[in-house]
């Protein structure tokens, strides 16, 4: 089953890290990524750019572009990981591994509906569809895809 692990943090706190502190966190994060890759659990993961560079498109018709993210929150979405886990408990275990590396971050775990052109819509609620849709194009073949061929 596919899950998104969304990483929230106070952006100002992250931006205040020294280059050495940031490199230390990222080195440990890559170590966790390596472990997840060995288990064939990790899909795409990304560190998002600064919220000051974000744009929000909203409104009718062509919409209007607004500077920055829409939400006024203490914590900002700064990154995400896509994981292929057997169930929610396994996805929570992965989030706990990520939290060991960055304990001041907040991790939100959500099921994913996967949309691939010409494939059935795959969701956590329909694990067989996930296997049919396939995540192999992402460079990983997690537990669901090993089960459903």
Average pLDDT over residues 102-131: 73
Distance CA 105, CA 57 (A): 27
Q: How confident is the model at residue 69 (pLDDT cuts 50, 70, 90)?
A: low
Average pLDDT over residues 130-148: 44
Q: How confident is the model at residue 121 (pLDDT cuts 50, 70, 90)?
A: low
Give me the number of domains the chain comprises: 1
| Residue with more model confidence, 100 or 131 | 100
- Residue 117 lies inside a defined structural domain of this protein: no
- Residue 135 lies inside a defined structural domain of this protein: no
Q: How confident is the model at residue 149 (pLDDT cuts 50, 70, 90)?
A: very low
- Residue 143 lies inside a defined structural domain of this protein: no
Stated as kind and residue range, the H or E segment containing 59 is none
Which tokens in the block code for residue 29?
């994060």
> In 3D, which of 96, 87, 77 has the Cα closest to residue 11?
77
Q: Which residues lie below 8 Å from residue 26, measured CB to CB, with a gap of 6+? A: none
Average pLDDT, rounded, for the chain: 81
* Model confidence at 133: pLDDT above 80: no
* Model confidence at 22: pLDDT above 60: yes
Range of the domain at 47: 2-112
- Residue 137 lies inside a defined structural domain of this protein: no
- Please, are residues 75 and 64 in contact by the beta-carbon 8 Å criterion? no
- Residue 120 lies inside a defined structural domain of this protein: no
* Model confidence at 93: pLDDT above 80: yes
- Residue 149 lies inside a defined structural domain of this protein: no
Residue 115's pLDDT is 73
- Residue 131 lies inside a defined structural domain of this protein: no
- pTM, full prediction: 0.74
* Model confidence at 137: pLDDT above 70: no
Query: Rounded to 5 degrees, what angle do the CA atoms 26, 30, 34 make?
Result: 170
> Which CATH number goes with the domain that contains 101?
3.30.70.1060
Distance CA 106, CA 10 (A): 9
Residue 129's pLDDT is 45
- Residue 130 lies inside a defined structural domain of this protein: no
């Amino acid at each position: 089953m596919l899950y998104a692990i969304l990483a929230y943090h106070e952006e100002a706190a992250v931006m205040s890290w020294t280059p050495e502190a940031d490199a230390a966190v990222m080195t440990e994060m890559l170590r966790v990524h390596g472990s997840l890759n060995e288990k064939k659990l990790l899909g795409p993961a990304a560190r998002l750019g600064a919220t000051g560079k974000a744009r929000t498109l909203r409104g009718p018709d062509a919409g209007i572009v607004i500077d920055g993210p829409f939400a006024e929150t203490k914590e900002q979405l700064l990154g995400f990981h896509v994981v292929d886990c057997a169930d929610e408990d396994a996805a929570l275990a992965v989030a706990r591994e990520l939290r060991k590396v960055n304990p001041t971050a907040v991790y939100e775990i959500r099921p994913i509906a996967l949309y691939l052109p010409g494939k059935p819509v795959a969701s956590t609620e329909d694990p067989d569809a996930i296997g049919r849709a396939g995540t192999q194009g992402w460079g990983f073949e997690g537990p669901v895809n090993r089960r459903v061929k």
